[in-house]
A = this chain, B = another copy of it.
Amino acid sequence: MIDNKADNLKGVLGRKNKKMTPQRRKILDIFAEHPHEHLSAEEIYDALRLQQETSIGLATVYRTLDLLTELGVLSSIELHGVNRYELNQSTPDSPHQHHHLICLRCGKVMEFHSPLTAPLEKEIRKQTGFHVHDHQLKFFGYCEDCQRELAEEKAKAETEKEE
């Protein structure tokens, strides 16, 4: 399965005059080992140092992430000021969309699946001529845990005020 990913990558790279290198393969492996996680360059760099004796430069990690994103192998999203990446589950013919729910209190990021934006993209093209290639939908708010904790904090504050 991982080999499939790597072989597939080799093909994609070849078509664009890019080369398959051990570094690129190992970085792709990290993603295969961490499905559904949003990894930053630094985290990938650390993961590489930990599980392998090899030392891959941080700059190479950045360059590889850029490349793989350009190729559509990864999708990137900026969270809390840091770029994060995950395997791109959507292909041109099966746009497997998911959006991000970002908790303003604890920073947790959840995913939410919904196709909703396809008709909107058509409407945009019609009205503005803009050709949508990709999109990113983020929701900011409070997760269930934080809602509860915020309510508790509030109740406590009320109690203290009464003294």
Copies of this chain, complex-wide, total: 2
The stretch among A6-14, A34-42, A124-132 that forms the contact with chain B is: A124-132
- A62 on interface, CB distance cutoff 8 Å: no
Q: How far is the CA of A140 from the CA of B77 in the complex (A)?
A: 12
Q: What B residues does A137 contact at CB under 8 A?
A: 117, 135-138
- A149 on interface, CB distance cutoff 8 Å: no
* A63 → chain B closest CB, angstroms: 16
- A104 on interface, CB distance cutoff 8 Å: yes
Contact of A134 among B123, B140, B143 (CB under 8 A): B140
Chain B residue with minimal CB distance to A113? B127
Q: List 21 A-B contacts (CB under 8 A).
A: A78-B78, A101-B124, A101-B132, A103-B130, A110-B128, A112-B127, A114-B120, A116-B116, A116-B120, A129-B143, A130-B142, A131-B142, A131-B147, A132-B140, A133-B140, A133-B142, A134-B140, A134-B141, A135-B137, A135-B138, A136-B138
New A-B pairs, 9, CB < 8 Å, besides A129-B143, A132-B141: A101-B132, A104-B133, A112-B128, A129-B144, A130-B143, A131-B141, A131-B147, A135-B139, A136-B140
